[in-house]
Amino acid sequence: LTLLALSSNPIEPAGSNAIYQEAKLRPLYLKTFDPLCDSMIAMYKRNPEITNIETSTMNNGGEEACMYLCAALRFNTTVTNLNFTYSLLREQGFKCLADALRVDSTIICFTFVRNMMTERGIVSLSEALQANKTLKTLDLRYNTIQSEWLKHLSAALCVNSTLTAMHLNGSRLGD
């Protein structure tokens, strides 16, 4: 098994725990709606070959779930793609992800589509981009990014030499 996709399902944490623990799955692509479940974090730590994590439509746990996942990412040596599409994260969750990106040396693609961006989140991301030396693609599509926040991203892009693509499509820039 190389893909386990559970996003957008009404599965309770106990159900996803059973799937992860009983099946002894070892996916390379971990896609879940609830990264708060201890078993998902345990699976990630137990399976160092996981290269993609997608937590789209994260509706249980939110900010706290993100912090658990970011804590697990401190041990990351293989995850290259991190996707938080429509995860309903706010400032604290985004700051946690930015902190993880700041020190990570393997993530090359970070997707944060359709979330609730704040200026503090953009500042955190900009600071992470200045320090990160591996990220190549940043996808911020369909977020509302106010025009005065763009100065933070611009400053980061002047320093970061590894980022080759930034997607801002549908981001209502300047609203």
Q: What is the pLDDT of residue 109?
A: 95
pTM of the model: 0.80
Which helix or strand (DSSP H or E) is residue 81 part of?
strand 81-83
Backbone angles phi, psi at 97, to 5 degrees: -65, -40
Neighbours of 82 (CB within 10 A): 25
- In tens, the pLDDT along 135-156 reads 999 999 998 888 889 999 999 9
Q: Residue range 51-67: average pLDDT? A: 67
Which helix or strand (DSSP H or E) is residue 40 part of?
helix 38-46
In the chain, what are the helix, strand and coil shares in percent, each to the nearest 5? 40, 10, 45
Q: What is the pLDDT of residue 50?
A: 76
Alpha carbon distance 109, 128 (integer Å)? 14
Q: Under a CB-based contact definition with an 8 Å cutoff, are residues 142 and 114 in contact?
A: yes
Q: Residue range 28-50: average pLDDT? A: 58
Q: Under a CB-based contact definition with an 8 Å cutoff, are residues 41 and 69 in contact?
A: yes
Backbone angles phi, psi at 164, to 5 degrees: -110, -15
Alpha carbon distance 52, 74 (integer Å)? 15
Q: What is the pLDDT of residue 28?
A: 46
Return the higher-pLDDT residue of 12 and 70: 70
Q: Please give the angle made by the CA atoms of 22, 74 and 100, to the nearest 5 degrees.
A: 120
Tokens 């990264």 appear where?
Answer: 35
Which helix or strand (DSSP H or E) is residue 153 part of?
helix 150-159
